[in-house]
Structure 1
């Protein structure tokens, strides 16, 4: 009796289950776990999915469909990845389909596009409506079109009913054409035809071309490029563009030589990823404090899987990383080097390239999708890359033989994915991934997160401290300026205190550089009417619009909606609209007025959207083409610049007063990190912190570089108010298009949860921003004490969410879970 085999497949849909398909006999020997397959889904859709399990058990609940085709000779995803995906989906309360969508580059996921074809064998029977005639007339000429094209050409708002009617009459048919997102990059290559691999034939060719002077020149240029008309060179190939450049010939001229059979032209696949032409340098010798730290890390790795390297800014942590990476490569292992921000990869990549050359791969969202597919393929097939440097999505790459994961600036909240699901934290996920590979984890930072440092206290992680700056550079001198006193004494120039202006003047006169930090982009956070206090708000989000002067528009930083600056107040008609507050764009404008001779640049999301713009900004600052760099938190993260003597933190209060239990922790981290940009490789730098409250304990701890005091005081508060790391948090966001329904649904869910979890439930309540993209939001928070089974809690939560969304009154409600929110 023939056995029928089945595959459980992960599809890119947000449904909490796998889908079972029958494996046709022709594919039984081709399918493996992790292979990509094409399957039908529903009546018309076609998806590519990943095989998660193979078995011979037919589902009882539904009729199985067959796999249409297998895309890979070898699996695109390995078994460790599938286990990792399962952990992500389970821990972060999302579906495997959502993890699949986040993990694979778009180029490896196929898309289905509905095409409508004209049936040329169909015979009209005279019963067509006017709309059907319009569609058929268009298709009779075009032969094939998409539904979207039919809507546009026929001016029908929805042509689907007409198409459905014509399908029933067999006047046309529908196909689902799969589009592959990734196409290999190729270049045209020229070689000598095999027939001409004989000297006599080449002599004949020269004779035959004696009258075609230009073609003869091309042939002579070809032989020059391959090193001469010697039999050893006959099999060599050259780039068609090189031949055109050398001979000055056109493509048509080369084509003539191909027609005559002298040349052969073909495509050769090339990498989109740049190759390093630099001479590789050896690793630098570690100084005595670095060597002690390096030896201590290796010693602690013997009985600890994770170690925290707590090193002050500019202590030389990166050099220690390089030594550890080199050691792993020599052992035949791979390394993942995680960074929190794309801006950081530019500097660190150039540094690592000088040591590891083409063994270093880069992976982040500023790479094109085709480039990301090539990195994925290289890692999957163990080609060139021994070390990958990348941002949080790099944890999804198909590693094998992973020996070490380095998580640089481990405290950064950008390691947390917010939207869409999976809402994972790359630091925590990387530790689980390392465990699956039997690899070690090194967490590096000058300002550890409370969670990480608590794990050190509990002896879960090892600890290595490096509190001496490289080459004995002193820690920067940090001074505070009381902005209220400066305003009262009329010493402020725009948003700059007299102390900061004087310090900047001194720095610029000495040819030194200045960094100004303001953690808000745009020109002004909002506009306000002086007469009635009206503030322009986004039509789709419950947030004020930010004014961007360069484009003279108001923009919502949540949904991207923008419109022109209003001339008058929309509430009272008054023309007296004024900007309030200040962003990086406003700082840039004011600085250019105060220091007209200084070269000024701004680094924020508006000026550094692309990979090249990041690299250009950083390169200009390094080469001395910029005197004053103004930026948001992008400039706070590990950038290493010479000759920065002055750093100004323009508004510490905006960070300290943010309504979040992590506000003090983040303020300490940001101020300490920004301060660390001063005095590197040069001399002691100076940091000016402008604040209305110089006695704030966080500011005092930053001035004294006292992390332990900051840690202890924050831990007391966290314990008193039941926050991490003492308690686990899970946020549930209830979303609906209607505000009343959002309120009712969240109240219903809140009461349901309270009946199960009692006092652990906080809310529901409206978040700070209660409407985004026309979705009304309500938040419910669960505080979970130690010792409670997190898996059991999540199971009960999933049941509660299902109860809500299947309730007749709340079917259009969306509930998003965020485990360990930031």
Structure 2
């Protein structure tokens, strides 16, 4: 008897074993998708992890019901990778599977209601809801739960179904339905009877009495000659013909309609053309990276903004493509993929595929399959693309490696794409290139210690100068009364000058919305979210108050709920407010905003970036989206509107993050002519980070920060593990956190920080408590600590008082 351990798409603490029916033994492989039953009725599509002959001792196995695919959907390396992620980041393999597989490959059974033909019922004994469902079942014979909800026009329908079950009017069964559907399109073809010229000429004479049909036929022949294949919708649109005219030609047997399967993600031509030359400094950097790769698996390319790191990446990608290997090019934001993909397509054309969260479920399945088959050789995407099933991975490029977006926050797995990429590459023997103008402290430390290779590219492409940086003193300007709203005179003058020179301006404000909060000027009351302990942000475009934690929206408040006065006013400012003020200050300028609220659709990022590239926007206001890696040749002024908000966050990484943000956003200026200028508005102009940014001095920032990290034992000198506890009762979660803390202190001593409530201590009606543990940089000790923590978590949740406490471990938290 053969058995299979399978990974179910659920957060189960272990994998389950199923028996393999004899007829399936020759067909089943690790990585195959199989249908299995869990519990009495529920069915799932699971992934086979291993095949063996050892029956489990703890329970009787159930048989695998079906093999869902001809070939496995994942390779052994993906399964090893999932196992490592689950172990290292303290989650389950089912949670990793859930994050990795496209939704249409993760199937769970659907409850189907069947009409019981063997039973008769008296409709007079049914209430209205029961009667409606019984009548519908009698006509349709089967209904899904969703259809029942639509018939009754309500969500809660299980009580009605239960009553009908008790009366034997219906039966229930569970079925798995494949969600992925191939895309079909109608194509028009000329009948073989009219392929010869003589028959076609005669046909033109026959259609002389039907000029519209003749016109449509001529349009079809033109399309065939110019395009090859003719899509029905395109033919009707471009010819101006009607469906009835086309049907007339089809009914006469002149044209045929053929339904064909088409790609949702067409790749186009596949030739690669590298048509640029590197500068001497880029050539040196490329040679150094290749040299590092001979002895190191990971190399850091530390290149200043606009130094031409992307062109170095292209040359390294070309090396891999020539060997027939695949490349993964990771970016922290979807916003960056639009600009980079246009550049890479110039060189690699149809070899590239994009993968990120904006694709629909069917598109994701098609990209998944193309990567698995090797049809896509270069994948460009955000962190989730790391979970694709690569066949032969040769290189991972992780651009803007310092970016915090590489760390998954919620839900599990809470993996860091940089660290996971290094492990994943190791499974293939592939190389990893980390690129940044402002590397993370951990990466630069590893490079300086010799663990990673280190290559520096410290001059801008073409010898262009770094932008000049000025700090505007907001306290001084406020005293002199030269401020106009949130703009210093220094910044406004520079903007006027840039616009007169027909240059573009980028303004960075790290808060979206119109105003971060409303304030009652009579009593000081501030509206808060009912579900979260956080103030509501005013979005004037929608005239709503938004909670940026749970997403709840509230109507605008005119009356203070504390004192009843009508003196609520918006305080502070976000990107919406900046955009609004600019329209009054620069009425002739074309102003746009780039933040989460303004770029919600799949193509909106791309459209806005193209507008900026084509100089259809004069001033762009944005959040962190405008900071990361974008390249606009006509931007010569960047304004950072509120540096103090970046420098005052209570976190040990605050100086590092502030430097990275300000240095990155300043790098958008003067990328072609070297005449860039950056103006940083701040109240605390003496802050040391502002001086590091003004001097573009990463090394000074690093030396200062690394000394403090070592003194207080923070990363990279330790590993941080954060434990968050959640419960709907504040007292319960506080007690649970205290109990857990009491267990941890004897084991970890002073390396345990907390428990304490975070800054925002209630989210979605759950109260939060946090503990932090500093673990040594020793893999064995870390593994032992994680094992011990898992035991503590089980022990805590088995206590009756804390059974419903949710425990979330976050390894290498950010």
Which residue of structure 2 lines up, in the alignment, with residue 317 of structure 1? Answer: 309
Match of 2:355 among 363, 380, 386: 363
Verify: 1:20 aligned to 2:12, yes or no: no
Verify: 1:452 aligned to 2:443, yes or no: yes
Instruction: Kindly indicate whether the alpha-carbon contact (under 8 Å) linking 1:39 and 1:66 is maintained by their aligned counterparts in 2.
Output: yes
d(CA) in 2 for partners of 1:642 and 1:199? 55
- 1:283-323 CA distances to partner (integer Å, 9 max, x unpaired)? 31001111111111111111011111111101111111111
Q: 1:483 to 1:213 in 2, by over 3 A?
A: closer
Which residue of structure 1 lines up, in the alignment, with residue 179 of structure 2? Answer: 181
Which residue of structure 1 lines up, in the alignment, with residue 569 of structure 2? Answer: 578
Displacement of 1:381 = 1.0
Displacement of 1:693 = 1.6
Verify: 1:641 aligned to 2:635, yes or no: no
Displacement of 1:73 = 0.7
Verify: 1:42 aligned to 2:39, yes or no: yes
Gaps of 5+ in 2: none
Instruction: Kindly indicate whether the alpha-carbon contact (under 8 Å) linking 1:193 and 1:261 is maintained by their aligned counterparts in 2.
Output: yes
Match of 1:405 among 396, 404, 415: 396
TM-score where L is the length of structure 2: 0.95
1:611 is paired with a residue of what secondary structure?
Answer: coil
Displacement of 1:63 = 2.6
- 1:203-260 CA distances to partner (integer Å, 9 max, x unpaired)? 89778877666556655655555459xxxx9xx8533235435765433444455455
Match of 1:124 among 121, 125, 131: 121
Instruction: Kindly indicate whether the alpha-carbon contact (under 8 Å) linking 1:39 and 1:49 is maintained by their aligned counterparts in 2.
Output: yes
Displacement of 1:556 = 0.4
d(CA) in 2 for partners of 1:684 and 1:37? 61
Q: 1:262 to 1:526 in 2, by over 3 A?
A: same
2:570 is paired with a residue of what secondary structure?
Answer: strand
Displacement of 1:86 = 0.6
Which residue of structure 2 lines up, in the alignment, with residue 108 of structure 1? Answer: 105
Match of 2:27 among 24, 30, 50: 30
Instruction: Kindly indicate whether the alpha-carbon contact (under 8 Å) linking 2:34 and 2:47 is maintained by their aligned counterparts in 1.
Output: yes
1:332 is paired with a residue of what secondary structure?
Answer: coil
d(CA) in 2 for partners of 1:161 and 1:619? 54
Q: 1:643 to 1:239 in 2, by over 3 A?
A: closer
- 1:541-576 CA distances to partner (integer Å, 9 max, x unpaired)? 110000111111100011110111111101111110
Verify: 1:693 aligned to 2:684, yes or no: yes
d(CA) in 2 for partners of 1:241 and 1:604? 36
- 1:315-358 CA distances to partner (integer Å, 9 max, x unpaired)? 11111111111121111111111101111111111111111111
d(CA) in 2 for partners of 1:221 and 1:712? 70
Counterparts of residues 19-418 of structure 1 (less than 5 Å): 19-124=16-121, 130=127, 132-133=130-131, 135-150=133-148, 153-154=151-152, 158-193=156-191, 218=216, 222-223=220-221, 225-227=223-225, 238-244=230-236, 248-259=240-251, 261-273=253-265, 275=267, 282-383=274-375, 385-418=376-409
d(CA) in 1 for partners of 2:569 and 2:207? 78
Instruction: Kindly indicate whether the alpha-carbon contact (under 8 Å) linking 1:279 and 1:354 is maintained by their aligned counterparts in 2.
Output: no
Which residue of structure 2 lines up, in the alignment, with residue 662 of structure 1? Answer: 653
2:534 is paired with a residue of what secondary structure?
Answer: coil
Instruction: Kindly indicate whether the alpha-carbon contact (under 8 Å) linking 2:267 and 2:351 is maintained by their aligned counterparts in 1.
Output: no
Displacement of 1:195 = 6.7
Match of 1:684 among 669, 675, 678: 675
Displacement of 1:200 = 8.8
d(CA) in 2 for partners of 1:82 and 1:415? 21
Instruction: Kindly indicate whether the alpha-carbon contact (under 8 Å) linking 2:42 and 2:108 is maintained by their aligned counterparts in 1.
Output: no
Displacement of 1:123 = 2.6
d(CA) in 2 for partners of 1:74 and 1:793? 39
Q: Select between 42-51 and 564-573 the one with higher mean Cα deviation.
A: 42-51
d(CA) in 1 for partners of 2:491 and 2:483? 10
Verify: 1:747 aligned to 2:738, yes or no: yes
Displacement of 1:722 = 1.6
Q: 1:497 to 1:783 in 2, by over 3 A?
A: same
Instruction: Kindly indicate whether the alpha-carbon contact (under 8 Å) linking 1:548 and 1:585 is maintained by their aligned counterparts in 2.
Output: yes
Counterparts of residues 356-755 of structure 1 (less than 5 Å): 356-383=348-375, 385-755=376-746
Counterparts of residues 808-819 of structure 1 (less than 5 Å): 808-819=800-811
Gaps of 5+ in 1: none
Instruction: Kindly indicate whether the alpha-carbon contact (under 8 Å) linking 2:270 and 2:348 is maintained by their aligned counterparts in 1.
Output: no
Pairwise CA RMSD: 2.5
Instruction: Kindly indicate whether the alpha-carbon contact (under 8 Å) linking 1:283 and 1:322 is maintained by their aligned counterparts in 2.
Output: no
d(CA) in 2 for partners of 1:458 and 1:40? 51
Displacement of 1:169 = 4.8
d(CA) in 1 for partners of 2:156 and 2:468? 67
Verify: 1:11 aligned to 2:8, yes or no: yes
d(CA) in 1 for partners of 2:463 and 2:236? 56
Instruction: Kindly indicate whether the alpha-carbon contact (under 8 Å) linking 2:448 and 2:454 is maintained by their aligned counterparts in 1.
Output: no
Displacement of 1:479 = 1.3
Q: 1:569 to 1:278 in 2, by over 3 A?
A: farther
Displacement of 1:375 = 1.2
Instruction: Kindly indicate whether the alpha-carbon contact (under 8 Å) linking 2:326 and 2:374 is maintained by their aligned counterparts in 1.
Output: no
TM-score where L is the length of structure 1: 0.94
Q: Select between 391-400 and 589-598 the one with higher mean Cα deviation.
A: 589-598
Q: 1:627 to 1:200 in 2, by over 3 A?
A: closer
Instruction: Kindly indicate whether the alpha-carbon contact (under 8 Å) linking 1:278 and 1:354 is maintained by their aligned counterparts in 2.
Output: no
Aligned length: 812
Instruction: Kindly indicate whether the alpha-carbon contact (under 8 Å) linking 2:81 and 2:424 is maintained by their aligned counterparts in 1.
Output: yes
Displacement of 1:512 = 1.2
1:59 is paired with a residue of what secondary structure?
Answer: coil
Displacement of 1:757 = 2.4
Q: 1:401 to 1:279 in 2, by over 3 A?
A: closer
d(CA) in 1 for partners of 2:362 and 2:471? 49
d(CA) in 1 for partners of 2:630 and 2:152? 56
Instruction: Kindly indicate whether the alpha-carbon contact (under 8 Å) linking 1:328 and 1:335 is maintained by their aligned counterparts in 2.
Output: yes
d(CA) in 2 for partners of 1:246 and 1:464? 54
Q: Select between 652-661 and 183-192 the one with higher mean Cα deviation.
A: 183-192
Displacement of 1:147 = 3.4
1:265 is paired with a residue of what secondary structure?
Answer: strand
Q: 1:211 to 1:60 in 2, by over 3 A?
A: farther
